[in-house]
Structure 1
Amino acid sequence: MYTKRLISFIQDYYQSKDFIPLHAPTFVGNEKKYVLDTLDSTFVSSVGSYVNDFEVNIAKFTQSRFAIATVNGTAALHTALYLSGVQSGELVITQALTFVATCNAISYLGAKPVFVDVNTETLGLCPVALLSFIEEQCEVREQKCFHKNGERIRAAVVMHTFGHPAKVDELKKVCQDNFIELIEDAAESLGTLYKGQHTGTFSSLSALSFNGNKVITTGGGGMLLCSDEKVAAHAKHITTTAKQPHAFEFYHDELAFNYRMPNLNAALGCAQLEKLPEFIESKRALASLYQSELANTPLKFIVEPENARSNYWLNAILCPSKEHRDILLAETNNAGVMTRPVWQLMHTLPMFKESLCGNLNNSIFLAERLVNIPSSVLLTKEL
C-alpha cells in the first residue's frame, strides 16, 4: 500500500503518468546563449574564456582558494590522488559504499583500495570505523602509516554520499594523527555545507563532478578544488599535458594528462551555476515533502545529518528489509517511476574482491535496503 502511495505522490509532484527519471538535468537559463557563443567564437575545445570563468565562479561559490576544471569527476579525483603522492603498491582507504569511480581513480595509480565502514547517519566514511581499523591493523613509523602487511597507507578518500556530508572534520583529525592524506570525493555534494563550510574544502584536494545527472551539469566534466597555490598551478599544468607555454614549440616537461575541460562544456556550466541556488532550494523543498509523505510508513527517508545543509542530490529511503526493497523497486519501475538500489558494494566487485577490508556491517545493512527515488529539480513548483 505504501509503495502505491509513494508512486502516486511522485506522479502528482511531477504532474506526469509517463516515465519519471531519477534525476534529469534542468535547462532554464543562459545555457543556449553561452553554448552558441562558444560556437560563434570557434573556441570550443580546451581554450576559452568560459573555462576560466567557470573555475573562478566555482571557487567563489565553494569558497575554495583554487579550482581547476577537468573532463570529468574521475579525472579530478585521479589528479588529486596523483598530487597527494599516491604511488603504485600503496594503499588508499575508502568506503565500500561508493560509486566505482572512487576506486577506479585509486587503481589508475597502481594503488589498492582498502574498505572501511560507513556511518549510518551520513552514509559516508565513518571516523570511528576508520580509527578502529588503524588501531587494529596499522602502525605509524617515522611519520608514515603502514598496514601490518607492510604496505604503506598513503591516503584516505571520503565520499559525500547522495550529497550528504560525512563527518569530515573528525575524519581529518584521524588522518592527521596518523599521517594519512585526506581527499574528498565531493562529486555529489556541490552546494552542501557541513558546519557552515562547503564540502570539498576541508581537505587540501578534492573532486567535483558535473555529469549529466548531477545538481548542475556540463554534460561531462569535473573540477579539482585545491587550497595551495603551487599545487593548483601544478594541477593545471599536468591536466593540460604539461606543455610549456610557447608561441609555436611543443615542449612537455613531465608525464601528464589530457584532462582539460572543453570551453563548450564550461559554457554550459557557467549558465547552470547561475541557477544553482534555485536548484538547491527546489531539491530541499522536495526532500521536505518526501519526509512528510513517508512519515507514517515503514520507509525511512534519509535526512541531512546533524550540522549539515545538504543539497539532497539524490533522495533516498531505507526499506525495512531487502525483500521490501526488491518489491518497491519492481513496483515503482513497472509504474514508470525510476528508482534504483544503491551501488554494489565495492569489495564484492571482481576487480576489488581481494582488497583489504575492515568490518563492513553498516555498509552491508544499507546496501540491502537503500533505494534512490526521483530527485529532479522542478522550478515550476512553489519553493
Structure 2
Amino acid sequence: MRRNSLDLTAIVDAIEEVLPREQEFIALHEPYLVGNEWTYIKECLDTGWVSSVGKFVDKFEKDLAEYTGSKHAIAVVNGTAALHICLKLVGVAENDEVLIPSLTFIATANAVSYCGAIPHFVDSAINTLGLDPKKLDSYLQEIIVMKNGFSYNKETGNRIKAVVPMHTFGHPVDLDLLVNVCEKYNIELVEDAAESLGSYYKNQHTGTFGKVSALSFNGNKIITTGGGGAILTNDEKLAKLAKHLTTTAKVPHRWEFVHDHIGYNYRLPNINAALGCAQLEKLADYINKKRALAKRYDEMLKDIDGITFFKEPDFAKSNYWLNVILLDEANLELRDMLLRILNDKGIMTRPVWTLLHKLPMFRECPKMDLSTSKLLEKQIINIPSSVVLGDSYNA
C-alpha cells in the first residue's frame, strides 16, 4: 500500500539509473537519424527536386498507408494542417461544435477554430489519459437534442458535428466505446493521431477508425520529416479531395491557373518527405527501443511510494512516445520541486499542457465536468523518452 509521502531522491536516482551517465543534458525527445536520411536528402539536392512534388512524396504516402493499414495517406506540411483538413472533409462548418479533450496540445483546438467552429471541451479517462467515452456518453444524453438526424447542443443551439480524440503520449483511447458513441449521436469521428504512429488498438493501427485522421512528424515525434503531417483515410473520394485542397485546389492544366475551391498551400516538400521515408524504414526498430525504455523505467520506479509509472491500457499496444509518471494525489504539491531538481540536473522533464479551457481564447467555450483532466494536469510529469535512450535495453 502506498504511503502519503514522496522520496524525491529515490525518484531522481531511479531515473538517473535508466539514463546514460555520460550526457550532461538529456532532452525530452529528440530525433534519431541513423538510416538513409543523408542518402535520400542528397538525392533531392543532386536532382533539384526539393519542393512540393517528387518521388519521395509519393513514396512516403505509399509507405505510410501500408504501415498503418489505411488505404490512403496524404502528406502535408504539419499535423495541425492535417487536422484542419480532416475537419473540413467531414463537413465541420462555422459555429458547429467539435468535442475535444481539454487535456491535449493546443493544435487540436486551433484546427477546430480555423474552421470557424467552436471547441467543446470534454473530460479524459485515468486509464488512457485520453478522451473518456463512457463519461462523454452520459454527458451527451443530458445536453443533446436530435434534429433531422443531427445532434444539437440544446443549451447553445449549435450542431455538434464531430469528436476528436487525441491519443495522449501515444496511448490509444478506448475506440470501440467511442465509435459506439459516435454512431449513437451521428457525430463524426476524427482521430488526432499526431502522437500515436506505431500504436495499436486491439491490433488495429490508430488513425484508421473514423473517416479521416491526422498524423504529425514534428521534430519531437517518433519519426520526423522536420515539420510535417499526414491525413489518413480509407475513402478514395475524400483522399482525392484532401490532395486537391492541400495543393491550393488547383485544377490540373499544362499552363493555366484555375482553382475551384478555397484551397490551402499545405503540401509537404519532397526534401522533407525524403527524410520521412528514411525514418519510416526504421520505425519498427524505434518502437522496440521505446518500449524497452518504458519497461526499464517501470522496473526502476515501480517500488517507489507516491508515484505510478503510466503503462499502456490492456486493449492497446503503445509506441510510448512520451513516458509519464503520475504523482499520487497526496503528493501533488511536490510536482514543481521534482521538475526543478530533474531539470537542474540536465534531465529535461515537463508537466502536461495547460488545460485548454483555461486559456483566454477558449474560456467561454462549452465544457463538461473536467474533474479527471484537472487532476491529471497536476499529476503528470513527462520524462526523457528519445529513441536513442532505449538502445541499451532493446533486446
Moved over 2 A (4+): 1-17
1:318 is matched with: 326
- CA deviation after TM superposition for structure 1 residue 249, in Å: 1.3
2:351 is matched with: 341
CA distance in 2, matches of 1:117, 1:382: 35
Please state if 1:36 is matched with 2:47.
no
- CA deviation after TM superposition for structure 1 residue 168, in Å: 1.2
CA distance in 1, matches of 2:38, 2:20: 24
1:381 is matched with: 392
Q: Which amino acid counterpart does residue 226 of structure 2 have in structure 1?
A: G
Q: Which amino acid counterpart does residue 237 of structure 1 have in structure 2?
A: H
Aligned match for 1:212, one of 219, 235, 240: 219
- CA deviation after TM superposition for structure 1 residue 285, in Å: 0.4
- CA deviation after TM superposition for structure 1 residue 11, in Å: 3.9
Structure 2 length normalisation: TM-score? 0.95
* Structure 2 residue matching 1:191: 3-state secondary structure: coil
Contact 2:14–2:301 (8 Å) recurs in 1: no
- CA deviation after TM superposition for structure 1 residue 14, in Å: 2.2
Contact 1:35–1:268 (8 Å) recurs in 2: yes
Aligned match for 1:299, one of 304, 307, 314: 307
CA distance in 1, matches of 2:9, 2:280: 36
Please state if 1:290 is matched with 2:301.
no
- CA deviation after TM superposition for structure 1 residue 41, in Å: 1.1
CA distance in 1, matches of 2:312, 2:158: 36
Aligned match for 1:273, one of 271, 280, 293: 280
- Count of aligned residue pairs for this structure pair: 383
2:230 is matched with: 223
Q: How do 1:33-182 residues align onto structure 2 when only pairs under 5 Å count?
A: 33-148=39-154, 149-182=156-189
The verdict on how the C-alpha distance between 1:214 and 1:133 changes in structure 2, with shifts beyond 3 A counting, is same
CA distance in 2, matches of 1:41, 1:249: 26
- CA deviation after TM superposition for structure 1 residue 3, in Å: 3.4
Q: CA RMSD in A?
A: 1.1
1:7 is matched with: 12
Contact 1:3–1:332 (8 Å) recurs in 2: no
Aligned match for 1:197, one of 204, 216, 219: 204
Contact 1:242–1:252 (8 Å) recurs in 2: yes
Contact 2:293–2:393 (8 Å) recurs in 1: no
Aligned match for 1:371, one of 375, 381, 386: 381
* Structure 1 residue matching 2:392: 3-state secondary structure: coil
Identical columns (%): 52
* Structure 2 residue matching 1:177: 3-state secondary structure: helix
* Structure 1 residue matching 2:282: 3-state secondary structure: helix
2:3 is matched with: none
Q: Which amino acid counterpart does residue 127 of structure 1 have in structure 2?
A: P
- CA deviation after TM superposition for structure 1 residue 15, in Å: 3.1
Q: How do 1:253-268 residues align onto structure 2 when only pairs under 5 Å count?
A: 253-268=260-275
- CA deviation after TM superposition for structure 1 residue 6, in Å: 3.8
* Structure 2 residue matching 1:139: 3-state secondary structure: strand
The superposition leaves residues 84-118 of structure 1 with CA deviations (integer Å, 9 ceiling, x where unpaired) of 11111110011000000000000001100001111
Aligned match for 2:342, one of 332, 347, 351: 332
CA distance in 2, matches of 1:28, 1:2: 38
* Structure 2 residue matching 1:114: 3-state secondary structure: strand
- CA deviation after TM superposition for structure 1 residue 2, in Å: 4.2
* Structure 2 residue matching 1:92: 3-state secondary structure: strand
CA distance in 2, matches of 1:66, 1:17: 41
- CA deviation after TM superposition for structure 1 residue 16, in Å: 2.8
CA distance in 1, matches of 2:308, 2:16: 20
Contact 2:296–2:393 (8 Å) recurs in 1: no
CA distance in 1, matches of 2:20, 2:104: 28
Please state if 1:246 is matched with 2:257.
no
The verdict on how the C-alpha distance between 1:352 and 1:237 changes in structure 2, with shifts beyond 3 A counting, is same
